[in-house]
Structure 1
Amino acid sequence: MTVFDTVSRKTLALALALVLLPVAGGAQEAVQPPAAAKAADPAPAADPDAVAAKVGDVAITEGDVAQAAEDFGDELQQIPEERRHEVLVNVLVDMELLASAAREKGLDKTPEFERQMGLLRTRALRNEYVRKEIVDSITDADVKAEYDKQVASYEPQDEVHARHILVETEDEAKAIIAELDKGGDFAAIAKEKSKDPGSAENGGDLGFFRKGQMVPAFEEAAFALEPGSYSKAPVKSQFGWHVIEVEEKRKTAPPPLEQVSDQVKTALVRQKFEQTMSDLKARIPVEITGAKDAPEGETGAPDGAAAPAPAKQN
């Protein structure tokens, strides 16, 4: 029997939180992660059956410690790496002491406890099935095939790389165009005179954008210009008056596989999850006899992981 047979995730989280509290009176400062810690070489994996501590006849194994570290990675970020094993062992020892006291009181025999353990076991089995039969079943070849399918249907779009100078009046915009006609530097003028706080410091640079991403008047003028040219007449929008310069035009391309592989896999996991649920419901009779509406946020996906969203190709 190991300590993880008797504890729940919420109890462990609470115990770990108590360990992290600073000692009253300031004797112990809150632990902060190193500001710029150098990545350490990974420590060799411990034997999961090795005993890290014993509480009475109950062994706390390195496997228990590793499981706790995996489940509570976020909380452990508050603790220096060299102390994490010690903290986890101490937390698990304290938990087993409390669990032993609970068993002495017969609290592990109550109907409420049995119901709770049944739910925890069901949840753990669900998560294990999703991990092994759904998530881990999606191979790199599956991801590549789905990516290739999406790329085959990808439709390139026109993009322009533009700069602009935004001013309050048409006369100011005309004066800037006259200055450009005399050889003025567009970026330098934008930095000096543009009222757009988001782009002025970058010489008016807006980067690349597609149709539908800018206000109509601005977009129409920008896409009508040839690379290397600027607008010869001020362009009015609800923001003021613009002088626009287009640096480059291009067609969009699908992102490389390595950039979107995680999103593609997430989409495949969602598809397989939904298909699995559909197949199970078709094979196993389900009768809802209680409340008709499930609690908000209830899902068949693993804890902390709602059914993933489909990949979006830019």
Structure 2
Amino acid sequence: MLSTRKFAAAAIAAFMLSHAAAFAEDAKDKVVAKVGDLEIYQSELDLAVANLDPQLAKLPPEQKEVAALSGAIDLKLLAGSAMAEGLENDADFKMRMRYLKDRELHNTYFQKHVVDTVTDDEVKARYEKEIAAMPKQQEVHARHILLKTEDEAKAVIAELDKGADFVTLAKEKSNDPAKSEGGDLGWFTKGRMVPEFEEAAFALPVGTYTKTPVKTQFGYHVIKVEEKRDVAPPPFDQVKDQVRQLVMRDKYVALLQAAKDKTKVDILDETLRKGYDDANKAPEATEPTK
């Protein structure tokens, strides 16, 4: 959700071209290809690989690198033509480069002060906090026998009252596909079944069945509750990535607030100012640029 490395391939190319000298100063940053007088460095290729289209990103490593190199060569070819026309001096191009620079500085700062600062202990503590705050939720393990008429359902209840086995009756008389499993519906929480069925099932004590038929849009049910339990929270390993996002979000919000506290923001357009003020009344800040 919070990615600091996703930006348009064309923007990468423009940024890298404008900083080619800086790459050349790094002895470890080897040249992997030349396009006329322009050079493609390993660092550029690595960025191109990291920002491949999702479909191409599924390719094996060697093929991904070739696909990225092909794209980088195409970019250099037209970038060279653009420079030959002096387009790097175009006012619109300069404006976009200023924006891209600010965005990448933002992302680099976010990486350094948010992403890289999150610890496993912080994530585990936040998980435990979220679990503690979760309301208790119950789930029920039930069986049912579905009949077409109320009289049929009453007849089944009468047989149960005489000691008949619920599973056997379900297999013999139920009109539900679950009849082969003895009417077993497995575990379910509130909101999973139609209201009439749900209300009856959650009201029944464990080990008992409904003494009157329960009517729903599907027919008449005789319900038996086998077990009840509290819903277990999701395991830490299953949700740790989502919890890490929560920790990062909070750090980001705090980082923004600290910057706002020490920096005056003056919006000159009245309509924009009102819109900005209204938007920032929300408790959470906008997520960082992706």
Give yes or no for the alignment of 1:257 onto 2:239. Answer: no
- What is the alpha-carbon distance in structure 1 between the residues aligned to residue 47 and residue 255 of structure 2? 27
Q: Structure 1 residues 10 and 64 mapped into 2: Cα distance closer, same or farther (>3 Å)?
A: closer
Name whichever structure is richer in helix by fraction: 2
Find out whether 1:225 has 2:204 as its counterpart: yes
Deviation of the 1:232 alpha carbon? 3.2
Distance change >3 Å, CA 243–CA 106, structure 1 → 2: same
Q: Distance in 2 between matches of 1:216 and 1:90?
A: 59
> Helix, strand or coil for the counterpart of 1:136?
helix
Aligned mates of 2:181, 2:107 — CA distance in 1? 49
Q: CA RMSD in A?
A: 3.3
User: Residue 235 of structure 1 aligns to which amino acid in structure 2?
Assistant: V
Counterpart secondary structure, 2:145: strand
Structure 1 counterpart of 2:77: 97
Give secondary structure in 1 for the equivalent of 2:109: helix
Distance of aligned partners of 1:200 and 1:54 in 2 relative to their CA distance in 1, 3 Å threshold: farther
Structure 1 runs not aligned, ≥5 long: 1-7, 14-46, 305-314
The residue type equivalent to 1:193 in the other structure is N
Question: Which residues of structure 2 form unaligned runs of 5+?
Answer: 1-6, 13-26, 280-284
**1:193 match:** 175
**2:167/2:183 contact within 8 Å kept:** no
SS across alignment from 1:193: coil
Contact 2:30 2:41 survives alignment (8 Å) = yes
Aligned to 2:288: 302
1:156-305 aligned within 5 A = 156-178=136-158, 181-183=163-165, 185=167, 189=171, 193-194=175-176, 204-211=183-190, 214-290=193-269, 291-292=271-272, 293=275, 300-304=286-290
Does residue 75 (structure 1) correspond to residue 61 (structure 2)? The answer is no
Say how many residue pairs are matched: 258
Partner of 2:89: 109
CA separation of 1:187/1:121 partners in 2, compared to 1, >3 Å: closer, same or farther? farther
Residue deviations 1:212-250 (CA, integer Å, cap 9, x gap) = 654554233223334343323211235432221212111
**TM-score, structure 1 normalization:** 0.70
Whether the 8 Å CA contact 1:164–1:243 is kept in 2: the answer is: yes
The more displaced of 125-134 and 160-169 is 160-169
C-alpha contact (below 8 Å) 2:147/2:174 kept by paired residues: no
* Paired position in structure 2 for 1:53: 33
Sort the Cα spacing of 1:300 and 1:151 in 2 relative to 1 into closer, same or farther, 3 A.
closer
Q: What residue in structure 1 maps to residue 8 of structure 2?
A: 9
Which shifted more, 49-58 or 168-177?
A: 168-177
Aligned-residue sequence identity (percent) comes to 43
